[in-house]
A and B are shown apart, each in its own frame.
Chain A
Amino acid sequence: AQKVTQAQTEISVVEKEDVTLDCVYETRDTTYYLFWYKQPPSGELVFLIRRNSFDEQNEISGRYSWNFQKSTSSFNFTITASQVVDSAVYFCALSEAFYKLSFGAGTTVTVRA
């Protein structure tokens, strides 16, 4: 069985501070995929990034960056210079096949002006 743990339930920061969200996963498979989604108050899950288990290269996209470390089974997400619009619930998810996603419990990020 696969499992995703997001240890941080809530994070509150002041605008322009950096925020790092932790994600630890468990799987027995050698091939798997990791995702981050954002869920704003409107409710719709917004796709942010997908990584496969063979690609440990870290990625930066604008103010977002991701650190994938297979040795520690972690896939952490950093928002640099946070903005109020970043306030949302962020979910880490794991997929062992091309269909079912297993989500963590989510981390609520609140960015105060």
Chain B
Amino acid sequence: DTGVSQNPRHKITKRGQNVTFRCDPISEHNRLYWYRQTLGQGPEFLTYFQNEAQLEKSRLLSDRFSAERPKGSFSTLEIQRTEQGDSAMYLCASSLAGAADPKNIQYFGAGTRLSVL
């Protein structure tokens, strides 16, 4: 069990550019979550997947944000036309929902820190 892996760990981009982050969940986990964390705050929920289906999106996820989990394994989060307000830590988590893990605990990766200049 290698844990949740996120790449890149850091991303610096200029305003207006597109960026894409990748998350590899714990291998047997069927749920995958994206959160955003700004300085001095707790993580805020963005969206989650059950296998390849995206089941909920927060109002925080504007039209410039899109997330995919094409084969129910890894996921990508893309931000188009980045703005300075997008600067934050983007955290990914995964869990095993269902009878196999009744506690459905979310395990987090180390995050991708985005800086928009």
Interface, chain A (partner B; CB < 8 A): 4, 35, 37, 42-47, 50, 91, 93, 98-106
Contact = CB atoms under 8 A, between A and B. Distances in A.
Contact of B103 (A37, A50, A102): A50
Interface residues on B, range: 20 to 34
Given A50-B103, A98-B104, A99-B56, A44 B109 contact: yes
Contacts of B45: 100-102
A93 B104 CA distance: 14
B107 A93 contact: no
Interface of B: 31, 33, 35, 40-45, 48, 55-56, 89, 91, 93, 97, 103-111, 113
Contacts of A100: 45, 48, 56
B110 A106 contact: no
Contact of B110 (A42, A101, A102): A42
